[in-house]
């Protein structure tokens, strides 16, 4: 029996059958961003196109599924119709024996790996989040953009998704809207989430076709790198440059904090790499309050000097009594 309404997954992604995995991934990213429901609210045509793109990527991104699709793709839409007459299927398929399957549904189940076939997935993308399915840390029904694949394994119900947040979003807390297949959900991320934080969203996991129960969605937070702030436990760490004269004489400098700029006193004689602690200016703590912000002082030497500056530095050098390397004079092996 010839398949009807057959979908050419390569054509959907605008690719040839010789496309590489990188080309498949790039085409998917471009089209998924263009037709995502969040970008096209209320546009049913865009939503339908998005589902087609997602379905195509689910198959073509998996080398094993793609191999089977390339060989048996013309039978893709016959799932659930069974074999003619309820018996074996004698059509010439290049030596492939369909008699090992009780029905065409069994064939499609193996083709799509619906019952636990590993999904190699993809690396982290720059989009807002990506997911993997099965039990947290498992694999299966979501691709690396977080869009649910309709043909995914549903033997396990819980789903884990990686949600990427900026430092600002995580510090203040934020509501995030994203799509799980055709469903759009809103999740409130509390202030103070850190990389590795896991949030549970009840009833938004996979649907188990046997029990008709949905599992839970676990959101694992992943914070994006920040140009100034870094983490050290519950504390925020930052590096602030000062000039040699500020290091020698001491100074009052302005330092950014999550709440805005504050004035910090740098003691005279501070060493490069020494940290100053700003209490209560760090990351929100789970039980309330704030951690500290550590300001790491880095002495920055000027690369260019005005003539008067150079003259004064030379004068300092000629009268300087301090030798920071005196303890190395007699050092040897």
Asked if the structure places residue 329 within a domain, the reply is no
Cα–Cα distance between 118 and 275 in angstroms, integer? 47
Q: Among 107-116, 206-215, 263-272, where is mean pLDDT lowest?
A: 107-116
Distances (CA, A) of 220 to 100, 194, 291: 41, 9, 22
pLDDT tier, 83 (very low <50, low <70, confident <90, very high otherwise) = very low
Which of 93, 118, 143 terminates a domain? The answer is 118
Same domain? For 138 and 158 the reply is yes
Q: Among 52-66, 119-133, 307-321, where is mean pLDDT lowest?
A: 119-133
pLDDT tens digits, residue range 130-187? 444 444 444 344 343 344 444 444 445 888 888 899 999 999 999 988 777 778 888 8
Same domain? For 124 and 112 the reply is no
Q: Across all residues in the chain, what is the average pLDDT?
A: 77
Domain containing 274 equals: 230-323
Distances (CA, A) of 147 to 50, 73, 164: 10, 23, 15
Which residues, other chains included, contact 218 with Cβ-Cβ below 8 Å and sequence gap of 6+?
136, 158, 159, 160, 161, 198, 199, 200, 201
Q: Are 268 and 242 in contact (CB under 8 A)?
A: no
pTM of this structure:
0.50
Check which CATH number belongs to the domain holding 214 and give it.
2.60.260.20
Which residues, other chains included, contact 76 with Cβ-Cβ below 8 Å and sequence gap of 6+?
3, 6, 7, 69, 108
Same domain? For 97 and 13 the reply is yes
pLDDT tens digits, residue range 8-52? 888 899 998 889 988 998 898 889 888 888 788 888 888 888 888
Same domain? For 49 and 5 the reply is yes
> What does residue 221 show for φ and ψ, rounded to 5 degrees?
-80, 135
Asked if the structure places residue 112 within a domain, the reply is yes
The neighbour count for residue 29, using CB atoms within 10 Å, is: 17
Same domain? For 100 and 137 the reply is no
pLDDT tens digits, residue range 285-331? 988 899 999 999 999 999 999 999 999 999 999 999 989 899 898 89
The pLDDT of residue 88: 40
- Pairing mode, if any, of strands 129-132 and 159-165? antiparallel
CB-count burial class (<10 Å; 0-12, 13-18, 19+) for 122: middle
Same domain? For 91 and 139 the reply is no
The pLDDT of residue 245: 95
The pLDDT > 90 percentage for the chain reads 33
If we measure between CA atoms, which residue out of 253, 264, 156 comes closest to residue 209?
156
Asked if the structure places residue 333 within a domain, the reply is no
Cα–Cα distance between 216 and 213 in angstroms, integer? 10
Same domain? For 36 and 102 the reply is yes
Asked if the structure places residue 332 within a domain, the reply is no
Asked if the structure places residue 330 within a domain, the reply is no
The more confident residue out of 74 and 276 is 276
Examine the pLDDT at 111 and tell me if it is beyond 70: no
Same domain? For 141 and 104 the reply is no
Same domain? For 188 and 148 the reply is yes
Cα–Cα distance between 255 and 92 in angstroms, integer? 75
The more confident residue out of 48 and 71 is 48
Examine the pLDDT at 85 and tell me if it is beyond 60: no
Q: Are 142 and 116 in contact (CB under 8 A)?
A: no
Asked if the structure places residue 328 within a domain, the reply is no
70-98: b (≥16 Cβ within 10 Å) or e: eebbebbebbeeebeeeeebeeeeeeeeb
Any idea which residue has 């020698």 for tokens? 248
Number of domains in the chain: 3
The pLDDT of residue 54: 87
Q: What H or E segment, with its residue span, contains residue 319?
A: helix 307-319
Check which CATH number belongs to the domain holding 23 and give it.
1.10.287.110
Cα–Cα distance between 32 and 52 in angstroms, integer? 10
The pLDDT of residue 108: 52
pLDDT tier, 226 (very low <50, low <70, confident <90, very high otherwise) = very high
pLDDT tier, 110 (very low <50, low <70, confident <90, very high otherwise) = low
Same domain? For 111 and 127 the reply is no
Q: Among 174-183, 221-230, 245-254, where is mean pLDDT lowest?
A: 174-183
Phi-psi region of 139 (alpha: psi -120 to 50; beta: other; left: phi over 0): beta
The pLDDT of residue 45: 87
The pLDDT of residue 328: 92
Which of 171, 196, 225 terminates a domain? The answer is 225
Same domain? For 150 and 220 the reply is yes
Same domain? For 111 and 134 the reply is no
Examine the pLDDT at 68 and tell me if it is beyond 90: no
Which of 185, 205, 225 terminates a domain? The answer is 225
CA dihedral sign, ordered 306, 307, 310, 316:
negative
Asked if the structure places residue 20 within a domain, the reply is yes
Q: Are 186 and 173 in contact (CB under 8 A)?
A: no
């Amino acid at each position: 029996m010839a398949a009807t309404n057959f979908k050419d997954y390569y054509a959907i992604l605008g690719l040839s059958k010789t496309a590489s995995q990188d080309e498949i991934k790039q085409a998917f990213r471009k089209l998924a961003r263009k037709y995502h429901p969040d970008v096209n609210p209320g546009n049913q045509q865009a939503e339908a196109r998005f589902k087609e793109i997602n379905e195509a990527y689910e198959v073509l991104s998996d080398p094993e599924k793609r191999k089977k699709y390339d060989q048996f793709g013309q039978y893709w839409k016959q799932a659930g119709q069974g074999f003619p007459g309820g018996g074996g299927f004698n059509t010439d398929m290049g030596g492939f024996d369909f008699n090992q399957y009780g029905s065409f549904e069994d064939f499609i189940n193996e083709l799509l790996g619906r019952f636990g076939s590993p999904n190699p997935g993809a690396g982290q993308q720059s989009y807002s989040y990506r997911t993997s399915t099965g039990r947290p840390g498992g694999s299966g029904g979501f691709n690396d953009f977080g869009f649910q694949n309709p043909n995914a394994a549903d033997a396990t119900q819980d789903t884990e998704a990686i949600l990427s947040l900026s430092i600002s979003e995580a510090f203040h807390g934020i509501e995030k809207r994203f799509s799980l297949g055709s469903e759009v959900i809103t999740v409130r991320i509390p202030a103070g989430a850190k990389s590795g934080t896991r949030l549970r969203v009840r009833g938004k996991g996979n649907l188990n076709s046997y029990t008709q129960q949905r599992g839970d969605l676990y959101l694992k937070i992943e914070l994006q790198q920040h140009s100034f702030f870094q983490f050290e436990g519950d504390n925020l760490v930052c590096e602030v440059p000062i000039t040699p004269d500020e290091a020698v004489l001491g100074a009052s400098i302005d330092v950014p904090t999550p709440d805005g700029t504050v004035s910090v006193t740098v003691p005279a004689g501070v060493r490069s790499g020494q940290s100053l602690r700003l209490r209560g200016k760090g990351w929100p703590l789970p039980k309330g309050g704030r951690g500290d912000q550590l300001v790491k002082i880095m002495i920055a030497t000027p690369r260019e000097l005005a003539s008067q500056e150079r003259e004064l530095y030379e004068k300092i050098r000629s009268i300087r009594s301090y030798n920071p390397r005196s303890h190395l004079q007699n050092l040897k092996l």
